[in-house]
Amino acid sequence: MFAYTLKPELDKMVGLVNRFHDFCRAGNVPETVERHIKLALDELVSNAIFYGKPDPDSLIRVSARVTGQTLSLEIIDSGAPFDPFSRQDPDTTLSIAERDIGGLGIHLVKKLMDHTSYQRVDNQNVVRLSINLTKDTDSNYE
């Protein structure tokens, strides 16, 4: 079980990622899965801070657990209601000149994770992710 709380500040995410690394090493989480989740944490926590604008004194709670072959992750913040997965996927076929980066992070999360969900519970944003620990890194996206 992994549990970590952080203030809603971008530079506090460094400690989160470092501690998550320790958790993965202790539990023999495959390196590819660890990298996928670190990327997802970076996208989702920065989004929560940026769009939800939680109270500076509030805490963002991140927890993770391994059940069988599945790693599940939960991110809870008390910012304004914000569903990160409601945004339309970006057009990833445009040329460099036309390309806009908006929405790309969440697109990556949806493709890299096996399951994503969002709920508003008790005035909090609850984001849940899960990924199969034995996933073939090539089979999860087209």
What residues between 24 and 53 interact with other proteins by CB under 8 A?
32, 35-36, 38-39, 42-43, 46
Cα–Cα distance, 97 to 91 (Å, whole number)? 13
Does 136 participate in binding other proteins (rule CB under 8 A)? no
Stretch that binds other proteins, among 9-17, 55-63, 71-79, 119-127 (CB under 8 A): 9-17
Nearer to other proteins, 67 or 93 (CB): 93
What is the rounded CA–CA span in Å between residue 101 and residue 118?
22
Cβ neighbours around 111 below 10 Å, total: 13
Whole-number CA gyration radius for the chain: 15
* C-alpha span between 57 and 93 (Å, rounded): 41
What residues line the site for other proteins (CB under 8 A)? Answer: 10-11, 13-14, 17-18, 32, 35-36, 38-39, 42-43, 46, 92-97, 99, 101, 104-105, 107-108, 111-112, 137-138, 141
